[in-house]
Chains A and B, each alone.
Chain A
Amino acid sequence: DVKVTQSSRYLVKRTGEKVFLECVQDMDHENMFWYRQDPGLGLRLIYFSYDVKMKEKGDIPEGYSVSREKKERFSLILESASTNQTSMYLCASSGQFSNQPQHFGDGTRLSIL
């Protein structure tokens, strides 16, 4: 079974802090994704990566950056956290073929005070 592990289930940070959310997958997947989920807005893609050191902006990349130095690890960085980044963050991974589903972690509930 694919395992996608997010480093924290709950996180509380202060406005202006630099925040790191970590995600690790154990299935040697090429693709990794970061989403945020807000009530009524579904899953919105922040960034995704299709290979080590490769990244592409998703629908809402403003205020975020990502890092993929190793194939199994994909980090989301909030450069200067703001209250409107309070949300549920979900990491996912998938194989390289388009008929392969994404496998999600259990999410990080991030609160910015």
Chain B
Amino acid sequence: DQQVKQNSPSLSVQEGRISILNCDYTNSMFDYFLWYKKYPAEGPTFLISISSIKDKNEDGRFTVFLNKSAKHLSLHIVPSQPGDSAVYFCAARPLNAGKSTFGDGTTLTVKP
């Protein structure tokens, strides 16, 4: 039973356009959601997060939206840049839990 799903293995967008990466979860106990970015030959790095008490969190070009009723979150990157090309992982954890459950990742390619 995969509790965090990223249904699109890959996404390709043109530089300057919006990238939208999606993530669905099944566990209603998840309370905190995070996005990580991973370049080849490097470990994942934290990008942005959102608590379940919010529906939006913004940090520069990155915005995460949370729809609790649909158990869905999305990461918007505007405008997309070639340097954003990486694998993006969605992760979720319950309140007061130290460990997160990760999705399988979406490979984003931003074309110049």
Contact = CB atoms under 8 A, between A and B. Distances in A.
Interface of A: 4, 30-31, 33, 35, 40-45, 48, 50, 56, 58, 90, 92, 94, 96, 98-99, 101-107
Nearest to B94: A98
A42 B104 contact: yes
Given A98-B95, A107-B43, A42 B32 contact: no
A4 B41 CA distance: 15
Interface of B: 6, 9, 31-32, 34, 36, 41-46, 49, 51, 89, 93-105
A66 B89 CA distance: 25
21 contacts: A31-B98, A33-B99, A40-B9, A41-B104, A42-B89, A42-B102, A42-B103, A42-B105, A43-B44, A43-B102, A43-B105, A48-B99, A99-B51, A101-B36, A102-B36, A104-B44, A106-B42, A106-B43, A107-B41, A107-B42, A107-B43
